[in-house]
Amino acid sequence: MSQIRGTNVLVTGGANGIGKLMGLKCLQEGAANLIIWDINEDNLQKTARDFSSKGYKNVHTFVVDVSNTDDIEKSATEVLLEIGNIDILFNNAGIVAGKKSFWEHTAKDIEKTLSINVSGVMNVTRVFIQDMIKQRKGHIINIASASGLIPLPKGSVYASSKWAVLGWSESLRMEFELEGKDLHVTTVCPSFIDTGMFKGVKAPMLFPLLQPEDVTNKIIKAVKNNDAMLLMPENVNIVPFLKGVFPAKIFDKVAGFLGVYSSMNSFEGRPQEERVPEKKAKVK
C-alpha cells in the first residue's frame, strides 16, 4: 500500500476542483510537502491562503503551463532543488473542448487540447520519473475519463485526448511492473464530475453526475491501495464488457438510449472569466 504521510506530493491543475480537493486530502493524510502547479495565478494564491488558514504551511505553489515543455522543465528543476524528489504525482490538469462536431474545431482547439491533456501529462511525468526509478519508489495518478472508453459525440477532441492518456497510462503501469520496484500507476476514469468544467452537460441514465468530494475520497483510497484502475461510477465498469460482447450498432443503440451520445449537446463549460488565462507570471 502507498503511504501518503511523509511524502512529497505534486498536483497539476491543483488550484481548484478535484485537484484542490486531492491536495487537501493529501495534507490531511500527513504529506510532508504539497506542491501545486496551475496556470491560474489568482486561484493559486486563493488556494494557498485557504490551506494556510487551515494550518498547512507546507504548501508550495508554482504557476506552470503544462502545455509548455520549457516551463515544465524549469519549474521541475526548481521543485527538485528547493523541495526534493516527488513521491506522488497527480496528473490532473486538463481542459474540455466540447459542444462542437469535429469539423467545427479549429487547429488551435485541437492543438491546445492535446498539448495540455496528452503532451502535458507525459512531459510532467517525464521530468520526475527518473528520480522515482532511482529511489525505487513512486506513484503516478493519471486522471483520464470514462470518455476514454466510449464514443463522445460533440466531444471528439476531448475524448481522443483521454483515450490517449488511458493507453499511455496503462502502458506506463506495465513498464513500472516490469521494473519490479515499488512503483505504481493508478488510472482514473470518471464520468462527468459536478464541477464548473462540465457545466451544462446532461448526465446519461445510470451515470449520474459525480460529486467532487466523493470522487476525491475514492481516488485517495485507490492510491493507498495501489489500485491499477478506478472507474466511476461503478456502472462504468460494464462498458468495456458490453463493447466486447455487442456489435457496434447494438452498443450504439444502447448508449444512445441511455443518453450517452447526447450528453454534450448542452455543454457550456466554465464561464469565460474562470477559464485558463493565456498569459502567466511566476509565483514566488
Domain annotation for the chain: domains and CATH numbers: 8-274 (3.40.50.720)
Q: For position 196, what pLDDT does the model report? A: 81
pLDDT at 98: 76
* Dihedral in degrees, nearest 10, Cα atoms 221, 222, 226, 227: 150
Beta strand 182-190 pairing with 229-232: parallel
Cut 0.85: pTM above it? yes
The residue type at 191: S
Active site residue 261: no
Q: Are 193 and 215 in contact (CB under 8 A)?
A: yes
pLDDT in tens, the chain (284 residues): 689 999 999 999 999 999 999 999 999 999 999 999 999 999 999 999 999 999 999 999 999 999 999 999 999 999 999 999 999 999 999 999 877 899 999 999 999 999 999 999 999 999 999 999 999 999 999 999 999 999 999 999 999 999 999 999 999 999 999 998 899 999 999 999 998 888 888 989 888 899 999 999 999 999 999 999 999 999 999 999 999 999 999 999 999 999 999 999 888 887 644 445 544 434 43
User: For position 271, what pLDDT does the model report?
Assistant: 61
Cell of 219: 481516488
Count of all residues that appear for the chain in the document: 284
Task: Write b or e for each residue in 162-197: b if 16 or more Cβ atoms lie within 10 A of its Cβ, otherwise e.
Answer: bbbbbebbeebbeebeeeeeebbbbbbbbbbbbbeb
Q: Which of 37, 62, 158, 176 is catalytic?
A: 158
If you search the block for the grid coordinates 486522471, which residue do you land on? Answer: 143
User: What count of Cα atoms within 13 Å lies in the side-chain half-sphere of residue 31?
Assistant: 29
